[in-house]
Structure 1
Amino acid sequence: MAGLCLLAIGSPAAQAQSVAPGQAKADYLAWLAQSPENREDVRAFRTFLIDREVKDILPTWQLVRTSSSWRECSAERFEVAPVKQWANIVDTLAFVKREVQPAIGEVEALSAYRNEDLNTCSGGRPASAHRMFFAMDLKPVDDVDRSELIAKLCAAHSASGAEYSTGLGFYSGVRFHVDSSGFRKWGSDGRGSSSPCNRI
């Protein structure tokens, strides 16, 4: 399925329900402090989000988290996507604000943009939605069990997913994927037929 990113399904990184080591806010602040270029890139990206009226849906620093498997892939833990791809995340953020958060509460972005090398190492397909900055892997901040998460997100996807061209994928536990690169759904093995939404 085009645009699907399989984050090394079955790997510890894919199964993780928490922030990967090295990708906490303190790590981000250290990354930001080490380079004027990093600071300028984040500042410009933040201005873009403000201009598009999608700021503060998720903290900007979470939107520059790369992959939970950054360490295994010898990659950067934070990276601002190329400017030409910034517009791709706008509808994804809008869907999170208008459909995901009202359904399950506040969410945290665990992974967003992945450059070509990291995307390949992470198990993503060449046309992965993460590669083009359409996608985020998310988890709820509050305590939501998997069955409740699935029921509420599948209902939101069914009602409004087509409007936002939303892809909705589920990993194990409560980690899930949202993008805006095509209306579709899938389960933890990456197949549409295995989406838990099909059983609701």
Structure 2
Amino acid sequence: MSSAVWLRSRGLRALPVLFASVLVACTPRPSAPPPPPAPTAPTAPSERALPPVPPSAPPPTPEKLSDIERDAVLFTQWRAGHAADVEAFESFLTYEKVADVVPTYQLLRSASMWKECKAEPFEIPPSAMWPMVRDVLLLVRELRDQDVLSSVEVVSAYRDPRLNRCAGGAPGSSHQQFAIDIAPLDAETGRRLCAFWRQQGKGWNMGVSRYPTGRIHIDRTGYRTWGASHKRGSSYCLQE
């Protein structure tokens, strides 16, 4: 057999194999399925959506004082020069369980005319009078507990004899032993206070008065009342 004939016969036999190879190469293979999604990590507590924050409460209304000059700020300045005496006074009140009745800065306010009299804005009573301070505070607490007084601002308390004279106080003023003047009261509160004085004041040895300015005087040096004339007949508690 000639070489040409052999090559032709050899080529014909190879064609089916060649076509099969081409067919396999051109046939599209099925695509592999996509991999499963990776598991989602749990959200950390700090990353979770937080509930909305409720609006904050409005700031407290600043305390409205009748005596706006002799406030806690001025008292802090004054206290720096009287620290040991104030601490001893407050320790006594704490021991007697009356430290929470009236703020110290109000309890130590001297006469309202302290400037005119060239006196201190605050004054600590002599230690011998501290039991009277306690007794007055016990009465104030009782007035609160019975809903006679809802709030109290003491505008004047202890006065030494010199300051009492300069401020126009009576020679025997109970402020020289310890008494309090409180800011004016509304009419209804005033009526409740007078009713308490009439019904229970004797047992408390309570004195009460209202000055022309509207301020109310309270002490525990005798069951009595008086008014603008400094006599019993002018007391507003007897006119109710």
Pairwise TM-score range, normalised by the shorter structure: 0.7 to 0.9
**Residues 123/173 of structure 1: CA separation in 2 closer, same or farther (3 Å cut):** closer
Give the drift of 1:54: 1.4
Give the drift of 1:47: 0.9
TM-score with structure 1 setting the length: 0.82
Secondary structure, in 3 states, of the residue corresponding to 2:154?
Answer: strand
Give the drift of 1:90: 1.7
Of 131, 134, 139, which residue of structure 2 is paired with 1:95? 139
Determine the C-alpha separation between the residues in 1 that align with 2:68 and 2:176: 19
1:19 aligned partner, one-letter code: D
Q: How many residues align?
A: 175
TM-score with structure 2 setting the length: 0.69
Cross-structure match for 2:100: 56
- Stretch moving more, 100-109 or 85-94: 100-109
Is residue 18 of structure 1 aligned with residue 62 of structure 2?
no
2:234 aligned partner, one-letter code: S
Unaligned runs of 5+ in 1: 1-16
After superposition, the C-alpha distances for 1:100-127 in whole angstroms (9 at most, x for unaligned) are 5621311011000101110110111232
Cross-structure match for 1:162: 202
After superposition, the C-alpha distances for 1:56-78 in whole angstroms (9 at most, x for unaligned) are 10011211110111001111111
2:102 aligned partner, one-letter code: L
8 Å CA contact 1:49, 1:55 repeated in 2 = yes
Cross-structure match for 1:196: 236
Cross-structure match for 2:79: 32
C-alpha RMSD of the superposition:
1.7
After superposition, the C-alpha distances for 1:94-152 in whole angstroms (9 at most, x for unaligned) are 1111125621311011000101110110111232110112x000126xxx52x213211
Secondary structure, in 3 states, of the residue corresponding to 2:176?
Answer: coil
Unaligned runs of 5+ in 2: 1-64
1:185 aligned partner, one-letter code: T
Is residue 85 of structure 1 aligned with residue 129 of structure 2?
yes
After superposition, the C-alpha distances for 1:25-72 in whole angstroms (9 at most, x for unaligned) are 111111112x1xx11111111111111121110011211110111001
* Structure with max Cα Rg: 2
Cross-structure match for 1:45: 89
Cross-structure match for 2:117: 73
**Residues 195/100 of structure 1: CA separation in 2 closer, same or farther (3 Å cut):** farther
Greater RCO between the two (CA within 8 Å, min separation 6)?
A: 1
Determine the C-alpha separation between the residues in 1 that align with 2:214 and 2:150: 13
Regions of 4+ moved over 2 Å: none
